[in-house]
Amino acid sequence: MKNDRRPGPRVPQEEPVRLQKLLAEAGLGSRREIEGWITAGRVRVNGELATLGDRATRADRIRVDGRDVRLQRQRDVERQVIVYHKPEGEVVTRRDPEERATVFRRLPRPKQGRWIAVGRLDINTSGLILFTTDGELANRLMHPSRELEREYAVRILGEPSQETLAQLAKGVELEDGPARFDHIESRGGSGANRWYHVVLHEGRNREVRRLWEAVGVTVSRLIRVRYGNIELGRRLFPGNWRPLDEQELNGLLTLVGMAPPRPPRRGPGGGPRRRG
């Protein structure tokens, strides 16, 4: 008797992608952080030591530090994003050899994955840091091509001349290349202290401090008050965190070219539509 069964639909195979992208999308870390793991020999794919440039899929067996990594589809992972008010004295690292306080000790446990810090603030700088479990979002937020604005409140000693402020807006040569502030606004002050708000679209190491120091001005306090469309606000006190609301998250995703999540489809009674 002739077999009348027809073959079922073909299951499309995944295209291999860069290993750091695959792991970042699984929420293990930012692409830059994972590239460091690969370089340090901490990642294996199907038993072989991984190298930069390797590609993989979720069907491959991937191990980090000897432990198997469970990879999920990005759409199956709940994206979390929070804003944290970093106080002075904390460092942005998971483990500090000097045993100083780190920002991660105050964060809540994520529902899935692990927290990835979006950029850094040095130990003497306070203010806004974003954390997310979405490695692709973290990568886009930090990538120089996005040119996302960072705004800082800066307290300086003395009152700079108009020529000095003009020089900071025009550009100053630093050891790692030219830099400038996109916007400088005076916010008053008293005595020997003056407050300014400055905006720039880069995230180079200690860039704000180095710019002021390059024109002979001493920074006595530095606070990041905005990253992209996310503002620190007055109610989030140092050492505290809050989740982004829907409007903030959608605005952030739009800034980096990622589609906001679709709302659940509603059934006839107004509730979410269920399959089956």
- pLDDT value of position 273: 42
- pLDDT value of position 77: 58
Please, how many CA atoms are within 13 Å of residue 12, restricted to the half-sphere of its CB? Answer: 3
Best CATH choice for the domain 81-145+229-255 from the list 3.30.2350.10, 3.90.1150.10, 3.20.20.70, 3.30.70.1560:
3.30.2350.10
The ranges assigned to domains in the chain are 17-74, 81-145+229-255, 149-227
Q: State whether residue 224 is helix, strand or coil.
A: strand
What superfamily would CATH give domain 17-74?
RNA-binding S4 domain (3.10.290.10)
Question: pTM of the full predicted structure?
Answer: 0.75
- pLDDT value of position 11: 41
Residue 182 known to be catalytic: no
- Identical fold for domains 17-74 and 81-145+229-255, yes or no, is no
Give average pLDDT by consecutive 10-residue segment, the chain, 276 residues: 48 75 79 88 92 88 88 67 97 90 93 88 96 90 90 94 95 94 92 93 91 95 97 95 95 90 56 42
- pLDDT value of position 272: 44
Best CATH choice for the domain 149-227 from the list 3.40.50.720, 3.30.2350.10, 3.40.449.10, 3.30.1650.10:
3.30.2350.10
Choice among 54, 122, 134, 176 that is catalytic: 122
Q: State whether residue 252 is helix, strand or coil.
A: helix
- pLDDT value of position 1: 47
